[in-house]
């Protein structure tokens, strides 16, 4: 895929979870619960992506987080990036639904 910082699936899911400030473990749980276990991001992926998002300044570490519960949130940049990503994903979803809807035969 193109563009410097492509938003991967996992990044998208994590950023989505962070539209409300959450700590890492809560992010994983939310995604797993929301998708009824169909998508699960393990700790390795999680913290890899968290690091990347921090460096990119799309998320921030909330002040007052102790080492036990590190709470992250989306920065304004992060929100903008997510908004754009939502638009692209909506487009593709629409296409998929149109396609699936129109074909009942083989």
Partner DNA sequence: TAATAATATATCCATTTATGATATATCAAA
Partner DNA sequence: TTTGATATATCATAAATGGATATATTATTA
**Distance, CA of 57 to CA of 106 (rounded, Å):** 47
Among its own copies, DNA, none, the one that 48 touches (CB under a kind-dependent 5 to 8 A) is DNA
Residue 76 binds its own copies (CB under 8 A) = yes
**Distance, CA of 39 to CA of 27 (rounded, Å):** 12
DSSP letter for 67, please: S
Our measurement of the distance from residue 29's CA atom to the centroid of its chain's CA atoms, rounded to an integer in Å, reads 13
By rule CB under 7 A, what count of residues binds DNA?
Answer: 30
Q: Which residues bind its own copies (CB under 8 A)?
A: 1-3, 6, 8-10, 12-13, 15-17, 19-20, 34-35, 37-41, 45, 76, 79, 82-86, 88-93, 95-100, 102-103, 106
């Amino acid at each position: 895929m193109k563009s410097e910082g492509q938003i991967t699936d996992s990044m998208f899911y994590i950023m989505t979870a962070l539209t409300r400030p959450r700590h890492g473990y809560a992010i994983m749980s939310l995604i797993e619960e929301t998708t009824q276990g169909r998508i699960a991001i393990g700790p390795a992926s999680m913290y890899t992506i968290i690091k990347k998002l921090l460096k990119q300044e799309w998320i921030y570490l909330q002040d007052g987080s102790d080492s036990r519960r590190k709470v992250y949130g989306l920065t304004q940049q992060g929100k903008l990036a997510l908004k754009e990503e939502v638009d692209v994903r909506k487009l593709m979803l629409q296409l998929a639904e149109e396609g699936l809807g129109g074909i009942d035969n083989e």
